[in-house]
Structures are given as structure tokens and as C-alpha cells.
Amino acid sequence: MKYYRQSQKKNKIVLFVCLTSILVFLILISITSENNYKYITEKDVINLNTSLLNNVYIEQKEEIDNIEKINNDDEKQEKNTRKKEVVNNNQNQVRPASTVVDNNPQQNDNQPMDSVYVGLKFTGSMTAYGRDCCGSDPSRWGITSSGYDLKQSLTYNDPTYGSVRIVASDKNFKLYSIIQINDPIDGSYNAIVLDRAGSVIGLNKTKKFDLAVESESYASSNYGVHKNVTFQVLRVGK
């Protein structure tokens, strides 16, 4: 009986130790699991926060880039609009009279001309020469470069323009060209180029034409120099 009680007591002690060990083991497991869970949770939260921050930063950066791009596009469009407005204003602006484009521009005495064409307008001076001019052979006096004899008449009957005066100029004007002349002294009349003048008369000279008159004496003493005469080419050559 005594041995049985001692054995029973010993079993209780072993059971108690086992239970205690199990309890301690469970407590340790619980603590370890809690620490691991806590560590994983904090790490996950940090990673999650970092990911969220990165996403937010990327979204904000994209939004800022889009805003800057829109602003740049607006600035470019505004500059282009301003340029178009300036161009339109310049095109619509009334030009001064001196810069207005004329389909038949009038040339002045000092403005060189490259060619003669129908409609060409210009200004200059005129002189005259007698039909008793020129050269050492009197039999050739009055015979123009075109062969027309001024001794017969100081006018020429043109099939298109009728009776016209006769003038001489340089080779810029083809023979038989018709010139409309507006002279402040003699008025307006048409003339035909039938002769060649001296070196001081021509298209790019101050004196544009030499008008055929009855004599050299009349040319020098009566006609002289007519200034501020306007000219317009009506026909070039025949």
C-alpha cells in the first residue's frame, strides 16, 4: 500500500512536469508566432506604404508632365496666333503712296530701267533736233535710221495710231515703237521712234527723246529742253 502511494505521487509529479513543459512550450510557440506575425506585418506595411508612395509620386509626376506639356502647347499656339495676327495686320495695313505696287510703275529720271515693254511709264526731259541735221553730207540730212526722210514730213502716218510725231532715242527702244508723250508745254501726243539719238539721250539718261522739228535753229533757240515730261510705251517695235 505504501509503495502504491509513492508510485502514484511520483506519477503526479511526472504528469505535472509534463503539463508544465507543454504549457511552457505552447507559451513559447505563441510568443514566437506573435513576434513573427508582428515582424511580417510591419515589413508588409512598410513595403505597402513604399509602393503606394511610389505610385502616388509617379501619378503626380505624370500629371505635372501633362500640365507642362499642355502649357507648352498653349504657349506655342499663342505665339503662332500672334505671328499670324502680325502678318495679317501687315498685309492689311495701308501702304504709303510711295510703296504702293503699280502694275505699270512710273520710273523717274535717276531710276535705271532694264527693258522696254508695253505699259512702261517713266518721266524725264526732251530735246529737239532739226531735219537739217546732221553729218558732213547735206544729201543725207534728215534721213533717219529707219530710212524715213524728215524733209518730206515731220510726222509719220502709222496704220494703227494714225499721224504721229517722230522722235529719236537709243537702241533700248526698237524702231517703230509708239510712245505716248505728256508734255507740260506741248500737251499730249503720240510719237514714233524712227531715229537714233546721240549718247546723251536714251532710256537711262535724263533726256529720254529727241523730237524732230523743222530746223536746228528752232531746236536750240525755241524748243530748248522740256522737263517733267511723262512717257508711256504703247507699242514696242512694229
**Element at 92 (helix H, strand E):** helix 2-92
Give 48-91 pLDDT, tens digit per residue: 556 655 665 666 667 777 777 676 766 767 666 665 565 455 44
**Can you tell me the distance from the alpha carbon of 119 to that of 234, in angstroms, rounded to the nearest whole number?**
6
**Can you tell me the distance from the alpha carbon of 123 to that of 110, in angstroms, rounded to the nearest whole number?**
10
- Could you tell me which residues come within 8 angstroms of residue 169 by beta carbon, excluding any fewer than 6 positions away? 193, 196, 197, 201, 202, 203, 208, 209, 210
- For the purposes of burial, counting CB atoms within 10 Å of the CB of 100, is it exposed (0-12), middle (13-18) or buried (19 or more)? exposed
Range in 1-10, 14-23, 127-136, 144-153 the model is least confident about: 1-10
Range in 50-54, 151-155, 165-169, 216-220 the model is least confident about: 50-54
Contact 230, 106 (CB under 8 A): yes
Q: What share of the chain is helix, strand, coil (3-state, %, to 5)?
A: 45, 25, 30
Percent of the chain topping pLDDT 90? 46
List, in sequence order, every residue forming a beta bridge with 129; answer none if it has no partner.
Answer: 212
List, in sequence order, every residue forming a beta bridge with 144; answer none if it has no partner.
Answer: none
**Can you tell me the distance from the alpha carbon of 95 to that of 101, in angstroms, rounded to the nearest whole number?**
9
Compute the mean pLDDT over every residue in the chain, rounded to the nearest whole number.
77
Give 11-46 pLDDT, tens digit per residue: 667 677 677 778 777 777 766 655 554 444 555 545
Q: What is the pLDDT of residue 33?
A: 57
- Could you tell me which residues come within 8 angstroms of residue 126 by beta carbon, excluding any fewer than 6 positions away? 181, 183, 207, 208, 209, 210, 211, 225, 226, 229
**Can you tell me the distance from the alpha carbon of 127 to that of 168, in angstroms, rounded to the nearest whole number?**
10
pLDDT at 143 over 60: yes
Q: What distances in angstroms separate CA 139 from CA 131, 152, 217, one per listed residue?
A: 12, 13, 19
Does the pTM surpass 0.75? The reply is: no
* CATH code of the region 106-235: 2.40.40.10
pLDDT at 186 over 80: yes
- Could you tell me which residues come within 8 angstroms of residue 163 by beta carbon, excluding any fewer than 6 positions away? 155, 156, 157
Range in 39-43, 166-170, 215-219 the model is least confident about: 39-43
Q: Which residues of 144-153 are buried (b: 16+ CB within 10 A; e: fewer)?
A: beeebebeee
The C-alpha cell 529719236 sits at: 168
List, in sequence order, every residue forming a beta bridge with 126; answer none if it has no partner.
Answer: 209, 226
